[in-house]
Structure 1
Amino acid sequence: MLRAFLRTAARARSRAPRPAHDDDVLLDAPDDHLAPVLVAAAHGEHAPAAALLTATRENAEWEHRDRYATGLAAFARSRTEWLAHWRATAPDDPDALLIEGRLTVDRHWDSPARAELLRQVTPVVTAAAEAAGRDPVPWRTVLDAARGARSGHAEFERLWEQAVHRAPHHYGCHVAALEYLAAASPGAHRECLDFAETAAHDAPENSPVRALPLRAAFTCLTANGGDDPAGVHRDRLDAAADRAIALSATHPASDPWSAGLRNLLTYVLLRLERLQDAAEQLRLTGPYVTSFPWDQDGDDPLGRFLQVRADVRAAMGSAPDTAGSGHPRSGCGGRVRADDH
């Protein structure tokens, strides 16, 4: 399976108490472009959302398009009037179809009948993706639906080929493929790391795909069964974290666009017991918290983040030596893990 994925891509080329004084922290905060669109949607207006997504489609800004569509779909889970009106007035609008497809898959994902429901909608979201031309973002939805529907390898590879044909380095589609690989082969940590490292190596400088090994490291560290990734693959997990640290350094501090990378990086660094590196990423993150990955430990991601941050600060304050990287090979003290509570 791994060889087929790489060959195709190559051809395409627990609720916790919250510490005080955290009023400044923002959970899943939208950027300056998405925020006014969400305000308009809350008032039932879909035109700003249409304008924003049209611009990303026409300018081939696929990473922005993916993030904005995901945010709008999440908003539509509780406020659907604006999307329903949009669909009624423009039933063939590719941007409205993108959001509706994402929303449908997300809702079905939470159902006990997930596989059966997603098998029913996969042809629909696939047809919408095929009609979207060069846009790779709908294919992320298709790949997620196929994973949830437990599609066979041959079918998933066919869909994956369509995605990378449109954008060989789209991060969202690569995450979907990585998650499929992990789900289809539980415990296949080496294969997940191979896939992610190859994709990162081939990606342009500063591409989000450069951080795909970090996502693979997270998958390995949180998986049940298989080998002990923290022991067997320790060097590769550290290398994935180091690559993500370098990518984080290319973005300004307190940057909402980089919040997803830095929150995940902090989580992985704590799992690897690299306390000082994690503390530095927390500093760079500033007030921007993302639900993922903290929602993996319970239903209160904000509370989880705040508790972990408080623990890191306390541990750093009591550490005998705060110089250095915090990497286990450096010998610096301090052990706080993202799953300690």
Structure 2
Amino acid sequence: MLRRRSSLLIRPELDDEPLHTTLAELRPSGQLHGLGAGSTRPVWEPAAQLLRATGRDWDRRAHRVSVLARSLPAVVSQRWAADRPGDGDALVLRAFVEATRAPAEGYTAVRRAEQTCLSAAGACPEDPLPWLALLSLMYSCAVPVKDAVPVWTEAVNRAPWHRTAYHRLLSYLSPRGHGTVPDMMDFAWQAAARAPQGSPVALLPVAARVELTAHRQGSTPLPALGTSGEWNEPRAAEEIGVALEGWFRTTAVAHAEAVTDLNVLAFGLTRAHLPDEAAPVFQRIGRHMTHHPWDLLPEPERTFLYWRDRPAGRRGT
């Protein structure tokens, strides 16, 4: 009898079960106007409880706020901010929501979003997240890199080696963002070289190379099981080694977006055609595939499963 292959879990909350529970509770089951109907507590209370429990874990707070801002109806953050003016958590979530939506709504909305980010920074002076929200807003509005770096610096001054902050600036420096390939790669290499042992920032050059793949690829999918030129470059093997030794093979506690980083590392290992090194990475990923970077391939799920379920020690394709 054939063994049934377990289904993949592809979801923005990754492996964060408290966040998953909160999202399930906050998503309306029927029409939007029914959100919270029949409840004796405010519609935003599950989000408030989650962020209170998160505390000063800036890494997990960034992941949770980002996912909440993208996943929930805007009315949740609107009601929370209206019911609790001056509440730091409410302002931070509202800053992320407005930073995401404002650029499509015009100049007035952008100025309002900027003010919300600054109000959140005033209410939470030790929190890096308001500055990350402002950085996202600046990215969407194509503000030059030289003006964005001071905002990024505000974030990392509050939370050194903050994983999300480094990835946000990497996206800014990407040629798909507002930078160049040399700017992006230099930033990634320097950050990884200075990162403390066990920091996921050690993976940044591999993430930059994925960006390079996406930039060079354009709209043409890569061969599903082949390699691409940028992964054959000598520097690529060095970058993968830094990620393996500086982060993956350390005893560091898993960070909030470890699932995302594991998928990036696994993708890089398969592109570089290192299946034996990829096997333990896939083992740690388990069912938690992410859309990106596998969406750079023509059959993402099938390719992911091919590499994940590949017999140990098998070589060649």
Change (3 A) 1:233 1:191: farther
Change (3 A) 1:201 1:117: farther
Q: What is the SS of the residue equivalent to 1:27? A: coil
How much has 1:309 moved relative to structure 2?
2.4
Whole-angstrom CA distance in 2 between matches of 1:305 and 1:251: 30
In structure 1, the residue matched to 2:58 is 62
How much has 1:287 moved relative to structure 2?
1.0
Whole-angstrom CA distance in 2 between matches of 1:310 and 1:232: 21
Q: Which moved more, 1:272-281 or 1:97-106?
A: 272-281
Pick the aligned partner of 2:303 from 294, 300, 308: 308
| Identity value in percent | 24
How much has 1:22 moved relative to structure 2?
4.6
Whether 1:130 aligns to 2:121 is yes
Pick the aligned partner of 2:187 from 195, 198, 210: 195
Unmatched 5+ stretches in structure 2: 28-34, 37-42, 218-227
Are the equivalent residues in 2 in contact too, given 1:125–1:141 (CA < 8 A)?
no
Change (3 A) 1:256 1:172: closer
TM-score, length of structure 1 as denominator length? 0.71
Whole-angstrom CA distance in 2 between matches of 1:48 and 1:255: 22
How much has 1:180 moved relative to structure 2?
1.3
In structure 2, the residue matched to 1:338 is none
In structure 2, the residue matched to 1:289 is 289
Change (3 A) 1:255 1:35: same
Are the equivalent residues in 1 in contact too, given 2:134–2:151 (CA < 8 A)?
yes
Structure possessing the higher relative contact order (Cα contacts under 8 Å, 6 or more residues apart)? 1
Change (3 A) 1:287 1:193: same
How much has 1:195 moved relative to structure 2?
1.2
Whole-angstrom CA distance in 1 between matches of 2:144 and 2:91: 26
In structure 2, the residue matched to 1:329 is none
Whole-angstrom CA distance in 2 between matches of 1:166 and 1:255: 18
Whether 1:75 aligns to 2:71 is yes
Q: C-alpha root-mean-square deviation of aligned residues, in Å?
A: 3.4
How many corresponding residue pairs? 286
In structure 2, the residue matched to 1:220 is 212
How much has 1:286 moved relative to structure 2?
0.6
In structure 1, the residue matched to 2:142 is 150
Change (3 A) 1:231 1:36: closer
How much has 1:122 moved relative to structure 2?
5.4
TM-score, length of structure 2 as denominator length? 0.76
Change (3 A) 1:83 1:185: closer
Are the equivalent residues in 2 in contact too, given 1:230–1:272 (CA < 8 A)?
no
Change (3 A) 1:218 1:129: farther
Q: What is the SS of the residue equivalent to 2:17? A: coil
How much has 1:90 moved relative to structure 2?
0.9
Alignment of 1:1-341 (within 5 A): 21-28=4-11, 29-42=14-27, 44=36, 45-57=43-55, 60-76=56-72, 79-107=73-101, 111=104, 119-120=110-111, 123-131=114-122, 132-182=124-174, 183-186=177-180, 188=181, 190-224=182-216, 230-231=229-230, 234-246=233-245, 247-250=247-250, 258-296=258-296, 304-312=299-307, 316=310, 322=313, 332-334=315-317
How much has 1:197 moved relative to structure 2?
2.3
Unmatched 5+ stretches in structure 1: 1-19, 299-303, 324-331, 335-341
